[in-house]
Amino acid sequence: MIDQFSSWFVFSVLQISPDTHLSEALHFFIYDTVKILALLLIMTHLMSLVRYYLPVSKMRSFLTSRRFFGLDYFFASLFGAITPFCSCSSIPLFVGFVQAKIPLGLTFSFLATSPLVNEIALVLFLSIFGWKITILYAVAGIGIGMVSGAVLGKMGLEKEINMDIFLDEKKPCACSCKCGKKQSVIRSASKEARSITTKVAPFVIIGVALGAAIHGYVPEGYFEGFLSKENIFSVPIAVIMAVPLYANASGVIPIIEALIAKGVELGTALAFMMAVVGLSLPEALILRRIMSFKLLAAFFGTVTIGIIFIGYVFNILL
């Protein structure tokens, strides 16, 4: 239905010839924008309900009061995957976990997974790549969080955290949906979901627009020269290229779709995307205020190795 609407709008309403770069780009843009925003609105409503019944305070209590016989890192990564998608959901919560005396390795599992796997990323993957790739991506993202957290937890770097800078910062998270007047669960969850969708929508539109430009105007095979299967260093190159960039999943996944259509392998493209959202320089600058360079390098190093490994695995299996 969405494909038919896109074709009707481009070819009948705008009367653009199907055999042009402009028509390909516009069709891609309209189709992906409508599809992604519709799925995004549905998924954010569902995840808002989950978060209503599983607030962060319960997550902290759950992790600190129980022993899971080796599953601690899985639960910490899983919590990272379902945290609210907003500006105060990753690093401040990471600090809160440290203050709550949650082991450092578990807090890093949360921090590594949070930007990689969330309802936004999963909705976009589902809409573009289908269930199989979406599930594999979720497993890979949670796996990176688990392994990196376990490795960092064994390194004994707790003294490398600088908590003094946060002693005076007691402000509550602005994302809380339980403040003020009491509201019904459905209304409260819907309000949060609409707020998230509204904030994310511009990034979706920008990302889809860039992807549409690549899809419509970049020649087939343009990226294969340096990101081809024959180049054994294509995955590390993609990760290095991504680090200076700053975007979230909503902006970069539509671009990845277009890159894959132009000949870039799936694993290489996913490594690029994971590095953009999980290894950004702005995140590093913020974290540098919280921890020593040694701990920051250890965190980024373990996550980088995990992303490169996942990239090669996806290239081999898919």
Residue 29 pLDDT greater than 80, yes or no: yes
85 band by pLDDT with thresholds 50, 70 and 90: very low
CA angle 135–238–264, rounded 5-degree value: 65
Tens digit of each residue's pLDDT (9 = 90 or more) over 42-80: 777 776 776 677 665 666 666 666 566 567 888 888 888
What is the predicted pLDDT for the residue at 135?
A: 92
pTM: 0.69
Sign, CA dihedral 257-262-267-270, equals: negative
- Each residue of 234-248: pLDDT tens digit? 899 888 887 766 566
Does any domain span residue 142?
yes
Residues 177-197 as b/e (b if ≥16 CB within 10 A, e otherwise) read beeeeeeeeeebbbebbebbb
C-alpha span between 192 and 41 (Å, rounded): 11
| Torsions phi, psi for 161 (to 5 deg) | -90, 130
Q: Is the distance from CB of 212 to CB of 25 less than 8 angstroms?
A: yes
118 DSSP 8-state letter: S
Q: Which helix (H) or strand (E) holds 288?
A: helix 281-288
Q: What is the C-alpha separation between 134 and 126, in angstroms, rounded?
A: 6
Give the pLDDT of residue 311.
93
Q: Examine the pLDDT at 12 and tell me if it is beyond 90.
A: no
User: Does residue 12 lie in a domain region?
Assistant: no
Position 134 pLDDT exceeds 80: yes
Domain assignment present for residue 31? The answer is yes
Q: Is residue 9 part of a domain?
A: no
Instruction: Supply the range of the domain harboring residue 87.
Output: 20-317
Does 263 fall in a domain?
A: yes
**Residue 291: φ, ψ to 5°:** -135, 165
Within a domain: residue 13? Answer: no
- Number of domains within the chain: 1
The per-residue pLDDT of the chain, averaged, comes to: 77
Q: Give the contacts of 100 (CB within 8 A, at least 6 positions apart).
A: 60, 64
Q: Is 11 within the bounds of a domain?
A: no
- Let me know if residue 79 belongs to a domain: yes
The mean pLDDT value for 161-165 works out to 65
